[in-house]
Amino acid sequence: MKRERVSFVRPGTLILLTLGLFGCDIATKSTAKAALEGAEAVSVAPAVFRGAVELRYVENDDIAFSALRSLGVSKTPELLVAVASVAIVVMLVAAIRAWRSASRSVRPDGTPSRDGTSLMIAAGFAIILAGALGNVVDRAVHGYVIDFIHVRGWPVFNVADIAVVVGVGLVILAGGRQRTGPPLEAGPPAT
C-alpha cells in the first residue's frame, strides 16, 4: 500500500510568506531612510491619533529595548550580527520542524488532521524568521537597524519588529491550543 503524505502547509507558501515580509521590511526601511533621515518626525493622521503616532528616523545600534546597554555589555557590529544570526538559525530550525509536524499531522484513526495548530506554529516561525532576517541584514549592511515607527510610550520600531511580535504571538497562541487539546466529544448519555 502506497503511503500518501498529507500536507496542507506547503513549504513554498511559508517561503513566500517569509520573503514577502522580508521584502516589505527592507522596502519600508529604505523608504524611511530616504524620506526621514535628517528630517523632523512626521505625525501620522494627527486628527485621529492626536500626535500619538509618528514616523521618526532612528538608527538603532543595540538589540531590542536597548538590552545590551542596560546590561552594560559593550556592543560591536560583529557581536550584534552574531547574536542575530544565531537567532535566525534557531528560528529556521524551529520553522522547519513545525512545517514537518504540520505535514505529518494525522488523527489516531489515520485520517489527515486539518488542525490549524501546526499551521499557526509554522506560520509564526516563518513570520519571526522574516523579521529576524530583515534586522540582521540591516545590521550587516549598515551596522545598525533602521527604526521609523513611533507610538507614544513605546520605543521606535519597524516592520521587522512587528513581524517578530506577531509571529511570537501566533506561536504562543498555538502552543496554548496544543496544551488544552481538542474539544472533548460528547459521549453517550449516562444511564
Catalytic member of 25, 109, 138, 147: 147
Give the number of other Cβ atoms within 10 Å of residue 29's Cβ: 24
Q: How many angstroms separate the CA atoms of 139 and 133, rounded? A: 10
- The answer to whether residue 73 is domain-embedded is yes
Q: Is 59 left (phi over 0), alpha (psi -120 to 50) or beta?
A: beta
Residue 26 has pLDDT above 70, yes or no: yes
Residue 176 has pLDDT above 90, yes or no: no
Q: How many angstroms separate the CA atoms of 177 and 98, rounded? A: 15
Residue 58 has pLDDT above 90, yes or no: yes
Task: Give percent helix, percent strand, percent coil of the chain, each to the nearest 5.
Answer: 60, 10, 30
Domain of residue 44: give its range: 11-180
Domain count for the chain, please give it.
1
pLDDT at site 116? 66
- The answer to whether residue 174 is domain-embedded is yes
> Who's near 137: CB < 8 A, 6+ residues apart?
22, 26
| Residue 147: active-site member | yes
- The answer to whether residue 2 is domain-embedded is no
Written as one letter, the residue type at 8 is F
- The answer to whether residue 153 is domain-embedded is yes
- The answer to whether residue 83 is domain-embedded is yes
C-alpha 13: how far from chain center: 15
Percentage of the chain exceeding pLDDT 70: 74
- The answer to whether residue 159 is domain-embedded is yes
Neighbour-count burial of 59, counting CB atoms closer than 10 A to its CB (0-12 exposed, 13-18 middle, 19+ buried): middle
On whether the CB atoms of residues 133 and 88 are closer than 8 A, the answer is yes
- The answer to whether residue 187 is domain-embedded is no
Residue 72 has pLDDT above 80, yes or no: no
- The answer to whether residue 34 is domain-embedded is yes
